[in-house]
Chain A
């Protein structure tokens, strides 16, 4: 019984967030100066007469007033239908499903990598405070924390793909290979560079937080007691530190999902990786309202769930922070 109230509160808050996201995104799309018929026609603007323009507007529903279009979209949404994307001439749910499969490989691997590497580096640096290793790790973390991901991505392509030829220049598979011919190793080879650059986004953050937690522990009574019994710094870090620092790291990892999502859109552009990022850019530039709203809702849901998990974990780490509180 005591669990139901906070969960209900969370769900209500999530619904509110999603409603706001939908309204704001829709408002922005309506304020966007792009004429959807022109965007649809692209370079063929000058080949189409006025009758055909009217037919296009009618066929894709561009000619109704904004409020009517939004109402229509809401009604569909309540019926579980995200609408129809005119850019891809496909149901929005299909576009998102198809492209998210690709993005999740990139996002998931980068997320795992940044959590694991960030955590390990943080523990190492924190265990040996002030050592050379600590200085190197801290410096590295501060530098990458302030590096724009897309810039790093462009540099990486130039160095590893063009100059050295170690990694492919683009895409999720080699040119001319059918999906079924592409081995797991090849897929990983194509993911290597995008995942590494995206992971660099998250590593620094987690490293610095974990290091701070470790420092706390190494100066605590628990550690002093252990040292008195003859344990080495590594022993203490391994036995107590891991447990002490792992929860904040995981929490942070969940909370940084949103950042990662934003970063992945840029990274996908640089590596021409066909994920949700590409579809988002196309939807925005070509006034595909249902698709952009669908992606916005999906992203908001994804990030909110990540934050919710992070919130709940905070409660576990520190009982003073009550679940359902602010």
Chain B
């Protein structure tokens, strides 16, 4: 690894320090938002799946409404048989060492990532081929519209055969065509980056970024001591804003909801030995009643300190979720009517019974997650007057997988920038597959819509099918259909930012707090002199 020329760097760094202390435009921004990838900055192992890959660029990027827009690729098309993506690359993209980025690099990145066994899931890819210097084709094993996620998130690395090409220690010495290049990474401590002079896009507002990788406590201490410009804070500690800072809220689809086991008990077990089914939650009347009885606004106040909004689906407000998917809740009268009509009779003990079966079941949450515990306990109180008994139960994830996953209701958290998650959660093919469709939900009409979405010819057409899976007028997985979940809340992620920092329009964050705020980093501005 050739070291950059140190005196020059030192010169730049010192001049930065000098500049930063004068009243000119601010050159250095200090961020404490966590998100250190211990493996380094290697896209093939999953770096850049969230927020901003910083050092590398991706083929496409997401607009504010999460639709794909040009980035490295200026044009792209999907073949008739939905198996081959063909992309035309821009010609002015260069790596931070000045060498041009070509289709060879793109093909190498995709083929290698598919074999790497990292966090980037390219199992759908058959082969990537460079057709000429600026055209690349990606062939899939089967139609899968959500493969577009990889075009949006996989940072392009230099081909291994070239100078400064990809090698084993790439993660610690990343070379890419993104807006910034690495200056120094002090592992476990901080990351220092500076502008990439060869970046094809607009020049970023800040010459230098410093990412501090401190824990919650140290981050708060540093914010109160005035040493950081932007800090991510847990909502429980968001009340006490440091002087010279303001609270910035980022909307998210980082959601929490109750998954219901959909099958009655029939003595079956999964391969891992976990029993399947729950006679109470298998009754749609119970699921509908709970959906109607919970007061989601109160849950936001109590469990999230007010930093959140009610949730009615897995992807509220995203293009692949129906915009009219909501309930007028709480409505205990209607909930009681539904239960009465379905034959759940109120007993003397305040509990409802149907043919001797009490309306009682466990709601399991991962112990140690206080937010989920609060949500479970408060929801249980909300449905008690109806005559339904929910027993909140804290267990470790491992025990949840061995015991509870398919027979108890589970307090889950999901939320993604990709509709692939909807496919995993509601397609019968993924029933009992780990944490995905753990309630064994199976509806042939929903499966058909999900498959049609994967085989769609475009992002927009796929969105129509994703929405139809939620409710197509006769059935769906949503609250108007099978009510397979009781979605409760979407979290809001809280940050403290310097009052002089304008972070623009932040968009919507996925599950995970911190690094996603950097998605629109290039729009950030310093507003003071």
Listed in ascending order, the chain A residues whose CB lies under 8 Å from chain B are 33-35, 38, 40-41, 43-53, 55-56, 58-60, 86-89, 98-99, 154, 157-158, 161-162, 165, 169-173, 175-181, 269-272, 274-275, 278-279, 282
Can you list 20 contacts pairing A with B, beta carbon distance less than 8 Å? A43-B512, A44-B49, A46-B414, A46-B436, A46-B511, A47-B149, A49-B123, A50-B434, A88-B38, A89-B38, A89-B45, A157-B217, A157-B221, A169-B227, A171-B190, A172-B186, A175-B212, A180-B10, A181-B10, A181-B14
Chain A residues with Cβ under 8 A from B210's Cβ? 175-176
Instruction: Please judge, given known A-B contacts A43-B511, A88-B39, A89-B171, whether A98 and B187 are in contact too, CB under 8 Å.
Output: yes
Nearest-CB distance from B405 to chain A (Å)? 12
Q: Which of B117, B399, B414 has the most CB of A within 10 A?
A: B117
Residue pair A55, B117 in contact (C-beta under 8 Å) = yes
Residue pair A89, B42 in contact (C-beta under 8 Å) = yes
Instruction: Please judge, given known A-B contacts A45-B435, A46-B414, whether A33 and B189 are in contact too, CB under 8 Å.
Output: no
Nearest-CB distance from B515 to chain A (Å)? 10
Nearest-CB distance from B421 to chain A (Å)? 6
Choose from A45, A89, A161, A170 the contact partner of B39 (Cβ within 8 Å): A89
Chain A residues with Cβ under 8 A from B40's Cβ? 89
- B133, CB-defined interface residue at 8 Å: no
Residue pair B225, A173 in contact (C-beta under 8 Å) = no
- B501, CB-defined interface residue at 8 Å: no
Q: Mark B237-251, 1 if CB is under 8 A from A, else 0.
A: 000000000000000
Q: Mark B361-400, 1 if CB is under 8 A from A, else 0.
A: 0000000000000000000000000000000000011110
Nearest-CB distance from B224 to chain A (Å)? 5
Q: Mark B79-115, 1 if CB is under 8 A from A, else 0.
A: 0000000000000000000000000000000000001
A53 to B435, CA, bound (A): 12
Chain B residue nearest in CB terms to A53: B434
Residue pair B221, A169 in contact (C-beta under 8 Å) = yes
Nearest-CB distance from A165 to chain B (Å)? 6
A88 to B215, CA, bound (A): 18
A271 to B215, CA, bound (A): 9
Residue pair B208, A274 in contact (C-beta under 8 Å) = no
A269 to B188, CA, bound (A): 11
Residue pair B435, A46 in contact (C-beta under 8 Å) = yes
Chain A residue nearest in CB terms to B510: A43
Choose from A44, A58, A158 the contact partner of B117 (Cβ within 8 Å): A58
Instruction: Please judge, given known A-B contacts A89-B40, A161-B225, A269-B215, whether A46 and B512 are in contact too, CB under 8 Å.
Output: no
Taking A47-B121, A47-B420, A173-B189 as known contacts, 14 extra A-B pairs with beta carbons closer than 8 A to each other, sorted by chain A number, are A51-B123, A87-B39, A157-B218, A158-B221, A161-B221, A161-B225, A165-B225, A169-B218, A176-B28, A176-B30, A176-B192, A178-B183, A270-B217, A278-B188
A56 to B123, CA, bound (A): 11
Chain A residue nearest in CB terms to B28: A176
Chain B residues with Cβ under 8 A from A87's Cβ? 38-39
Chain B residues with Cβ under 8 A from A176's Cβ? 17, 28, 30, 190, 192, 208, 210
A154 to B216, CA, bound (A): 13
A171 to B190, CA, bound (A): 8
Chain B residues with Cβ under 8 A from A181's Cβ? 10, 13-14
Choose from A41, A55, A178, A179 the contact partner of B123 (Cβ within 8 Å): A55
Chain B residues with Cβ under 8 A from A60's Cβ? 117
Instruction: Please judge, given known A-B contacts A46-B511, A50-B434, A162-B221, whether A170 and B214 are in contact too, CB under 8 Å.
Output: yes
Nearest-CB distance from B438 to chain A (Å)? 12
A48 to B434, CA, bound (A): 11
Chain A residues with Cβ under 8 A from B122's Cβ? 52
A162 to B222, CA, bound (A): 8
- B236, CB-defined interface residue at 8 Å: no
Chain B residues with Cβ under 8 A from A44's Cβ? 46, 49, 119
A161 to B39, CA, bound (A): 31
- B418, CB-defined interface residue at 8 Å: yes
Nearest-CB distance from A166 to chain B (Å)? 11
- B433, CB-defined interface residue at 8 Å: yes
Chain B residues with Cβ under 8 A from A56's Cβ? 117-119
Q: Mark B12-30, 1 if CB is under 8 A from A, else 0.
A: 0110010000000000101
Chain A residues with Cβ under 8 A from B14's Cβ? 181
Chain A residues with Cβ under 8 A from B218's Cβ? 157, 169-171, 270-272
Chain A residues with Cβ under 8 A from B300's Cβ? none
Chain B residues with Cβ under 8 A from A53's Cβ? 434
Chain B residue nearest in CB terms to A60: B117
- B333, CB-defined interface residue at 8 Å: no
A278 to B218, CA, bound (A): 14
Chain B residues with Cβ under 8 A from A51's Cβ? 121, 123
Residue pair B10, A274 in contact (C-beta under 8 Å) = no
A180 to B221, CA, bound (A): 26
Residue pair B119, A41 in contact (C-beta under 8 Å) = yes
B494-513 residues at the A interface, CB under 8 angstroms: 511-512
Chain B residue nearest in CB terms to A85: B38
A168 to B115, CA, bound (A): 44
Chain A residues with Cβ under 8 A from B116's Cβ? 59
